Structure 1
């Protein structure tokens, strides 16, 4: 068994197999184990001798596993009969008219969400999408069978899954699907009694518009989010960040700096805020890197390059967050290319390309496209030109 699975699937669990699986139904568990290994659907299909279509149907919850298929998957992962037992438990099931106890459901799926976010940050969207869909189906079904505050808890957790599914859809380059999940997050959040998700959804729409190149819409959505009655300091900080980047793209330095100052103020307020948090934790962000990104958009390459270098050296990246590391590294390289330090820029990109290939992120690819555009304005040696063109090919898919 791979080391990555050993902690999760070899601890005693009181079951007859003595094996502990991640929480969730068979499809969620299957997709989570596959994501941990970094296997594609095709790889699992090959190892289990089960068709790719069957794997997809199992992970999305469209089909339940037969005993033979469950045994084949169990053998592929080396889970010692635990997957077979999980499949049997699913077939025994709970009667449709039974009420759901939300406690175990919420606790289990909160752990699933944390794990899927960790996997998504390091491997990109393709390894977590099926799990997200299956989990939201399970949660929305469970919410129908819960009552009172427990029902609201499950709807709120479903909303969190939907919000993250929207982010992963955006990372996969599907803005329409990202918006669909965002709208579901708003609806389910309201059913869970949380209106703040409606404010955060406007931040997500601003981000989607920004990557679509629609600066006016991005700024407009960010301003709406900041002024939303349910916006808390975290959401206002996120909104100010999006506004700052929008103004930078527009070339309005004064408005950009004003928005950055609002971002810093709201981020400071958010430290002690206890209202529901949506999106990345503001305390995990790096204001210096955000300012450097704005300087880059304003084409102040020299200041941007200096600030990127200072901040990336002063504050190491969060371990496992490959996506953010790749995006900021490529932005740094773009600034270096802008001041004529093409050799340094190419070295930085060469070290980052394997990560971008692995995570297959639309936002990272967009940043790579900006690097290519800037690098092509510089005179380059043959090796540099080869790297720039390899980057161009990766950026365009």
Structure 2
């Protein structure tokens, strides 16, 4: 039997399956790096092709390598789902998340189903639906899954409570997330589930949540501190939280500083072209619009409007 991969046509022996697994694992990290510095549509075709290759080869692969191929294929599919959401296609994102769960199950990994709920909760979070976000995150925490998945689910639950205005429940969920993520460890060579670009994800999400809870003056310095720890190469991550930081300062009344911060991000926002980042850009536009007499706002407005038009699907 032969299969076609990005590198060409190869016979499906065990040794070749092992080589495909090694090459695809190496490529996965490169694709994640590329996804940080360019728009989703640049990366998606290759990612989708590689996902299909892993799935097809795994179906007839030697039993000793089959499950590992399916599991890696599931991580490709999960990443595709995230980038599809970044491109503004929620339905497509949910479809790819289901594919990821199915591929993981075929590979003997039933934990990704719980993380699939966390991913679905990200979609409802950006829809502004606290009830579904909290419900999906709690459903994920009801599963017997690794500490990292539980921690990410608790973190998502906190974000759901934040958009619902429940400060106490949000802080309890963040405390639980910190405890769970501190206890999580993996010596596996499989890709890390969730972001790998935040040194302290719970601290960053605390700043994120405080803004949603109507406490922007508390959120801003936390976002300042955590943004300083993000690698310059993690451009998409820097823009995501940088826009949220500018939004926090604007909502706290520091309009000139907010304008200064966002001006330095507009070019990068267009480069990564994220539908989810565009949501915060729209919020920022509305906040700054209340200060239309401010000289910094007047100077920024044309560039902000252009950037928003370019990143909106």
TM-score, length-scaled by structure 2: 0.90
Of 263, 273, 276, the residue aligned with 1:350 is 263
Structure 2 CA distance for aligned equivalents of residues 310 and 145 of structure 1:
50
1:255 matched to 2:169: yes
Aligned to 2:61: 146
**Cα shift readout 1:57-116 (whole Å, capped 9, x = no counterpart):** xxxxxxxxxxxxxxxxxxxxxxxxxxxxx6xxx4xx446xx5453210100000111110
Aligned to 2:124: 209
Q: After superposition, where does 1:181-192 map in structure 2 within 5 Å?
A: 181-192=96-107
Deviation of 1:287 (Å): 2.7
1:367 matched to 2:245: no
Aligned to 2:248: 335
After superposition, the Cα gap between the structure-2 partners of 1:99 and 1:144, relative to the gap in structure 1 and judged at 3 Å, is farther
Deviation of 1:316 (Å): 2.3
Structure 2 CA distance for aligned equivalents of residues 213 and 392 of structure 1:
23
Q: After superposition, where does 1:41-80 map in structure 2 within 5 Å?
A: none
SS of the equivalent of 2:178 reads helix
Q: After superposition, where does 1:2-17 map in structure 2 within 5 Å?
A: none
Greater shift, 280-289 or 182-191, is seen at 280-289
Structure 1 CA distance for aligned equivalents of residues 262 and 236 of structure 2:
14
Asked if 1 retains the 8 angstrom alpha-carbon contact of 2:263 and 2:300, the reply is yes
Aligned to 2:38: 123
Aligned to 1:198: 113
Structure 2 CA distance for aligned equivalents of residues 395 and 322 of structure 1:
17
Aligned to 2:182: 268
Aligned to 1:294: 209
Deviation of 1:290 (Å): 1.4
After superposition, the Cα gap between the structure-2 partners of 1:274 and 1:144, relative to the gap in structure 1 and judged at 3 Å, is closer
Aligned to 2:157: 243
Structure 1 CA distance for aligned equivalents of residues 305 and 180 of structure 2:
37
Deviation of 1:169 (Å): 0.4
After superposition, the Cα gap between the structure-2 partners of 1:252 and 1:334, relative to the gap in structure 1 and judged at 3 Å, is same
Structure 1 CA distance for aligned equivalents of residues 61 and 189 of structure 2:
24
Aligned to 1:384: 297
TM-score, length-scaled by structure 1: 0.72
Deviation of 1:389 (Å): 5.1
Greater shift, 302-311 or 262-271, is seen at 302-311
Deviation of 1:342 (Å): 0.8
- Structure exhibiting the larger radius of gyration computed from Cα positions: 1
- Unpaired runs of at least 5, structure 1: 1-23, 29-85
After superposition, the Cα gap between the structure-2 partners of 1:272 and 1:282, relative to the gap in structure 1 and judged at 3 Å, is farther
Deviation of 1:272 (Å): 5.8
Structure 1 CA distance for aligned equivalents of residues 123 and 208 of structure 2:
17
Q: Number of residue pairs matched?
A: 306
Structure 2 CA distance for aligned equivalents of residues 221 and 282 of structure 1:
24
Deviation of 1:144 (Å): 2.2
Higher relative contact order (CA 8 A, sep 6+): 2
Q: CA RMSD in A?
A: 2.2
Asked if 2 retains the 8 angstrom alpha-carbon contact of 1:233 and 1:273, the reply is no
1:180 matched to 2:95: yes
After superposition, the Cα gap between the structure-2 partners of 1:208 and 1:151, relative to the gap in structure 1 and judged at 3 Å, is same
Asked if 2 retains the 8 angstrom alpha-carbon contact of 1:267 and 1:283, the reply is no
Deviation of 1:323 (Å): 1.1
Deviation of 1:366 (Å): 1.3
Aligned to 1:222: 137
**Cα shift readout 1:257-312 (whole Å, capped 9, x = no counterpart):** 00110111011111367697522249734332211111100111211123223433
